[in-house]
Amino acid sequence: MFQKTISIIIPVYNGEKRIRYCIDSIINQKVPNVEIIVVNDGSTDKTAQILASYSSRYKGLVKVFSQENKGVSSARNKGIELALGNWIMFVDVDDYLEPNTLKRIIEYKKLNDFDLIIAGFYLKDEVRDTSKYKIQEFHDRKDIGNLLIQDQWTQHIPLKVPSGKLFKTELIKKLKLKFNENFSIAEDTMFVTEYYMHIQNLVYFCGPFYVYWRSVNSLSTIGIADLVELTKARMEVLKIQKKFAQYYLDESVDTYMKENIIDDYKTIVLNAAKGNKKVKDINESLNLFFNDVNVKKYARMPSKETFLEKVILKIIKLRLYMLVKIMIKLVKIMY
């Protein structure tokens, strides 16, 4: 069977407002050997009709698979199963590619020497900055680790999400790597971080290539996500992040893990405060968090953080439930 070069997977649920722009941005790349796999995850709006028109008009280019609503992880996994390309790229239905993005990437002569390709992004409401175009290769484990722990929002590198990357299909299928369908939160971070554990090198295309739309309907939006599920997901991510840190960061494992634990604490507090969560859910979330093996271990490590971060680590170390609940109430008042 003819092997496509790139399989672009778009999971969609009720995406009638933006799906056309997303697909058109890929079609307009005008590069050969690309297939667009759209997995319709039980949409109830006009998404199915729109996709039918695209698959009819662009036979062989746009392929549509419909399933009952199972969530974005299931939709992405179905896309992986159907992919024929050497590379897999995930694009969210709200997002799109800048013109010539794929052309710039495909024309890079050493492309197939790498296990991962990362393209820079910018937010839809930001000014597009073309002054930063450059290509960086990473072959050393320490250098890869230093890149991957940067803040993705300030650096405009999609580090924790599958979007804006090209993954090697062969490696994904060899590892039997899938998105965890037990979670609807942070499942993308789990997938990406696990993939990092098996790469030898990567190439980074710095510049505004992938246009990212932060939707207010996202499950990661503060206060919307189920608090218990969010906490379980963050604890699952911590397990993978520990493996990542031990592989890439050597002596910086403690610092990296403490930073993530502090971030998890803030996320739980903010979601509890902004979402008017039930007392039962807050108690269950705090129990999960305080009793997590990685939280207990790394919160006890010697600390060089800021005063506030030291306070947070002390709260976690001493398991001060009441103080956390007071902080939740203060956040409600402040925000």
The CATH number that applies at residue 65 is 3.90.550.10
Q: Is the pLDDT of residue 222 over 70?
A: no
Asked if the structure places residue 271 within a domain, the reply is yes
In whole angstroms, what separates CA 302 from the centre of its chain? 31
Q: Is the pLDDT of residue 263 over 70?
A: yes
How far apart CA 155 and CA 162 sit, in angstroms, is 16
Q: Is the pLDDT of residue 169 over 70?
A: yes
Residue at which a domain ends, from 212, 246, 272: 212
Does this model's pTM top 0.85? My answer is yes
Q: Is the pLDDT of residue 165 over 80?
A: yes
- 195 shares its domain with 300: no
Asked if the structure places residue 183 within a domain, the reply is yes
pLDDT tens by residue, 127-157? 777 777 899 999 999 999 999 999 998 999 9
Highest mean pLDDT: which of 35-44, 108-117, 272-281, 304-313?
A: 35-44
Q: What percent of the chain has a predicted confidence (pLDDT) above 70?
A: 96
Token couple for 25: 């941005």
Q: How confident is the model at residue 217 (pLDDT cuts 50, 70, 90)?
A: very low
How far apart CA 257 and CA 242 sit, in angstroms, is 7
- 103 shares its domain with 152: yes
- 118 shares its domain with 234: no
Span 241-256, average pLDDT? 92
pLDDT tens by residue, 43-71? 999 999 999 999 999 999 999 999 999 99
- 239 shares its domain with 98: no
Span 225-239, average pLDDT? 95
Asked if the structure places residue 34 within a domain, the reply is yes
- 191 shares its domain with 254: no
pLDDT at 215: 56
| Strand blocks (E) in 86-133 | 87-90, 96-97, 116-123
Domain count, the chain: 2
Domain of residue 268, residue span:
227-334
For residues 282 and 272, is the Cβ–Cβ distance under 8 A? yes
Asked if the structure places residue 311 within a domain, the reply is yes
Average pLDDT, the chain: 92
Q: How confident is the model at residue 158 (pLDDT cuts 50, 70, 90)?
A: very high
Q: Is the pLDDT of residue 172 over 80?
A: yes
Asked if the structure places residue 217 within a domain, the reply is no
Local structure of residue 217 (DSSP, 8 states): T
Q: Is the pLDDT of residue 3 over 60?
A: yes
- 138 shares its domain with 199: yes
Span 24-40, average pLDDT? 96
How far apart CA 135 and CA 206 sit, in angstroms, is 6
Q: Is the pLDDT of residue 1 over 70?
A: no
- 189 shares its domain with 280: no
Asked if the structure places residue 275 within a domain, the reply is yes
Is the alpha carbon torsion for 75, 78, 82, 83 positive or negative? positive
- 73 shares its domain with 23: yes
Asked if the structure places residue 220 within a domain, the reply is no
How far apart CA 81 and CA 302 sit, in angstroms, is 46
Asked if the structure places residue 23 within a domain, the reply is yes
Q: Is the pLDDT of residue 216 over 50?
A: no
Residue at which a domain ends, from 212, 240, 274: 212
- 58 shares its domain with 190: yes
- 148 shares its domain with 195: yes
Residue at which a domain ends, from 180, 212, 244: 212
Q: How confident is the model at residue 319 (pLDDT cuts 50, 70, 90)?
A: very high
- 198 shares its domain with 231: no
Span 90-105, average pLDDT? 96
pLDDT at 126: 77
How far apart CA 58 and CA 79 sit, in angstroms, is 18
- 239 shares its domain with 315: yes
Q: Please list, in sequence order, all residues whose beta carbon lies within 8 angstroms of the beta carbon of residue 324, skipping any fewer than 6 positions away.
A: 269, 286, 315
How far apart CA 120 and CA 159 sit, in angstroms, is 10
Token couple for 239: 């397990």
